Structure 1
Amino acid sequence: MMDSSPVRDETAEETEDEEIEEASDIDDDAEDAEFKINSDTSDSDSMEEMEEQEGTDETEDWISKSGLSWSPSHEETLEYFPAPTGLAPGPTRYAISQISTLKSAFDLFLTDDMLQLVLKRTNLHGREFTKGWKDIDLVDLEAYIGLLLLAGVYRSRSENVKSLWDDQTGRAIFRATMSCGMFSLIGQNIRFDRKAERAEKSDDKLAAIRELWDQWTDRLPLLFNPSRDICIDEQLVPFKGHCRFRQYMPKKPGKYGIKIWVACDVPTNYVWRMQVYLGKAAGDAPEVGQGKRVVIDLTKGLRGHTVTCDNFFTSHALAQELLKRKMALVGTIRSNKPELPPQLLRIKKRAVLSSLFAFTKNTTFVSYVPKRGKNVTLLSTKHRRPVVNRDDKKKPEIITDYNSCKGAVDTLDKLVGTYSCHRKTRRWPLAMFFNILDVSACNAYVLWTAVDPTWFKTKSVRRRVFLEELGKSLVNPQIARRTTVPRSPFAAAIVKAARTVPETDDSGPEGPSPKKRKVCFCCIKKKRKVYNVCCKCEKHICREHMSTICLSCCP
């Protein structure tokens, strides 16, 4: 039966979003939410449009319901000069110093401390509730995670576990890593807290995974510096089981699930900060100014950036608060907001594709009519002039910039969903753990390609190759130490090869390498830095001065 937990009704938000979607999809592309609105770049043309619209309102004061005074002219509006961010966009120095292989990039997000936490809780639960349980170690847990990632790469997340291990329908690497029963047993017993201690945290709805979640989210900002453009939106982790804070979002593919607020870097789609929406406490009134509070929380520590968000978050109060923190805001705004001047909402006599602006000293409103009877309103503290682009649709520059930044979180959802490791489960903490793995792998890919931009640069499926190599690097230690050989000939061949061949480095074919490069001891003049070391003297050596020898001839 469907859970009776509180479900958020978003009909009010849907009505506003439908207007924006219809405005943005003039060419009958219903699924593309991008505004296809064009405009005129010259200030003179835009001012002529404004004068036409203002003709009927010359005697009216541009005062909103909240008492804010606006002006149709930008003469008193101050120029916007973004503050320096103080950060170089891209991976931090700490992240760069720690990355040498694909696995090392992933390990920055799921550290040994986090894995030991999961390992400890899982073994405790297994001993208590599973008959004949044998404690697993870190290699087993990493192999389990690696198989989850590989199942996502092979688009098998919805496939039955038994078919993944089947001789005909499955893949050999699953049978070579561990048995089907072992994989299912770990999935049944994996835990992130002690149920006996949960009663002490009854007021925390996220108690079942709180410790792991906090450790993981605290690391996200430490490894990457975002660019100037930040997008804030909501992500839905699909889940239909019992959960006290499950939400209903009809526009998301999964419809039901756990809602997470996400701050995402626009150029790279790196997830910089996340916050779970836990709903209101029992008996409490709905939170007032929730959108403003979420944006402030997700942008702590930033300055000089531009925040792009939708009409759920945007308000004049948020714009002013961000300006105090040296940040700008660009976003759509609902037409029922009291800070909007009434002139922007009157569209009965407005011409199609016309734009009307309203200004204060540091804020700009624009009202755009994409077609008869429809009105799109946006707020910006970054744009201080009534600039429109020279095009057939006369799209304002505010809408152009909004369109280029608004889809970062939606793009993240597409990236995560394409190769997601999420499997069907009745336990919401496990669904959250699957999302942690997906986002960690996505962020690790961003770091790895930033550190090594030439890696598989010509391939169109770089991310798929990255995930596949990452999954194999996680399962290889488990394959190499297996005591029994699988009956399947292909799986047996993988196990035998892992036993006889030394573990290779993810970054190249030369073999295992330390985390830091050093100069080849034979290249005195060239000073060539390499990862490879001699297996006998353990000195660093380049490919030019190394020779290949088989295991039987090795002394």
Structure 2
Amino acid sequence: MPSKPSKYGIKIWAACDASSSYAWNMQIYTGKAADRKPEKNQGMRVVLDMTSGLQGHTITCDNFFTSYALGEELLQRKMTMIGTVRSNKPELPPALLSVKHRARFSSMFAFTETHALVSYCPRKNKNVLLMSTLHRDAAISSQDHKKPEIILDYNKTKCGVDNHYKLFATYTCQRKTNCWPMVIFFNMLDVPAYNSFVLWVGINPTWEEIKRFKRRLFLEELGEVLVTPFMKRRQVCSSGNKASPSPVSTPSKRKRCQVCESNKDTKTIMTCSKCNMYICKSHAVITTYCYACEKSKKV
């Protein structure tokens, strides 16, 4: 995707909170369906999947997802929608698409029982189309740009997903790899780590309130808490094993292994702890006994 900051990678649909960038739901884009046929109304299907379980929220989406049918479906689920619209949508009236003789900073509105459409001209021969099921009037800002309230609300809430991935670039466990399962695995670590930070700060707003790098401190504590149980278990396992006696050796004398075949010239300084027979590493059991002594010890 050449228009994105990361042009190459794995595409993931995401639904994030507009203010905190908390990831509510994510879904990996797998391309065509199992029957190898292009999916119809993919944008609508993705939004409905991503917002499953939500109520009373306003969904902000770009022109790939926004449609009249999507707005109606979200209203049935007790949610509203704001989004930019592509000019090739069949539900758009021709009067909103025309930019001839339109003044700069002018706006045109169209309303139905459930939807509101606006065509805003930021400059000559250029218009921006938006659709909303939240707004029911033609309110316009009093500032010089004279933007409609629909556009102002859209600009406030449109950066949830982009900011979510921007935060990943600051603190991430991802490494450069050509193995795509590892890319998914790194993402599965980054997303819960950030979500847990948002929840922790929301529950404890006074935690490290003065410091400006609270997320780094949280990740350090989170990593320590995650590895501590495994470190303790390893420590218990290592302390439970009795230390094996060091092999008896005579550094000043180096002789041939008495277990190896006669035609092999394998010299060693290691001796059996019981019979003092010279043995090499390949014939030592637990590095201290020869096979015969180890077998007699078990019997």
Q: Equivalents in 2 of 1:389, 1:366: separation in Å? A: 14
8 Å CA contact 2:102, 2:125 repeated in 1: no
Normalising by structure 1, report the TM-score: 0.41
String of CA shifts for 1:136-159, please: whole Å, max 9, x gaps: xxxxxxxxxxxxxxxxxxxxxxxx
Indicate whether 1:474 and 2:221 are aligned: no
TM-score (norm 2): 0.75
SS at match of 2:119: strand
Q: Which residue number corresponds to residue 461 of structure 1?
A: 213
Distance 1:426 1:331 in 2: 35
Displacement after TM superposition at 1:281 (Å): 3.6
Instruction: Return the letter of the residue paired with 1:422.
Output: Q
**What does residue 380 of structure 1 align with?**
132
Q: Which residue of 1 aligns with 2:23?
A: 271
Secondary structure of 2:9's partner?
Answer: strand
Task: State the identity %.
Answer: 58
Counterpart Cα distance in 1 of 2:210 and 2:179: 41
1:301 and 1:282, CA in 2 relative to 1: closer, same or farther beyond 3 A? closer
Query: What is the alpha-carbon distance in structure 1 between the residues aligned to residue 229 and residue 55 of structure 2?
Result: 44
Relative contact order: is structure 1 or structure 2 higher (C-alpha 8 Å, sep ≥ 6)?
1
Question: 1:287 — aligned with what?
Answer: 39
Q: Indicate the residue corresponding to 1:359 in structure 2.
A: 111
Q: 2:10 aligns with which of 238, 244, 258?
A: 258
Q: Name stretches of at least 5 consecutive residues in structure 2 with no aligned partner.
A: 240-299
Distance 1:327 1:281, change over 3 A: closer
Q: Is 1:442 matched up with 2:207?
A: no
Amino acid at match of 1:288: K
Q: 1:479 to 1:304 in 2, by over 3 A?
A: closer
Alpha-carbon offset, residue 473 of structure 1: 2.9
Tell me which residue corresponds to 2:247: none
* CA deviation after TM superposition for structure 1 residue 474, in Å: 3.0
Computing the radius of gyration from Cα coordinates, the structure with the larger value is: 2
* Residue of structure 2 in register with 1:413 after alignment: 165
Are residues 1:398 and 2:150 paired? yes
Quote how far apart the aligned CAs of 1:476 are.
Answer: 4.2
Q: Which whole-Å CA distance do the structure 2 matches of 1:357 and 1:318 have between them? A: 20
Cα drift, residue 323 of structure 1: 1.2
Q: How does 1:184-223 map to 2 (within 5 A)?
A: none
SS of the residue corresponding to residue 429 of structure 1 reads helix
Aligned residue for 2:126, secondary structure, equals: coil
How many angstroms apart in 1 are the aligned matches of 2:142 and 2:160? 26
Match of 1:518 in 2: none
Deviation, 1:257, is 1.3
Distance 2:135 2:196 in 1: 34
Partners of 1:265 and 1:367 lie apart in 2 by: 27
State the alpha-carbon separation in 2 of the partners of residues 291 and 374 from structure 1: 25
Name the aligned partner's letter for residue 381 of structure 1: T
Identify the residue that residue 323 of structure 1 maps to in structure 2.
75
Partner Cα distance (1:282, 1:438) in 2: 30
Q: How many residues align?
A: 236
Partner of 2:266: none
| Matched position secondary structure for 1:375 | strand
Contact 2:99 2:125 in 1 (8 A): yes
Secondary structure of the corresponding residue to residue 144 of structure 2: coil
Matches within 5 A, 1:537-548: none
- Residue aligning to 1:313: 65
Give the aligned residue type for 1:324.
Q
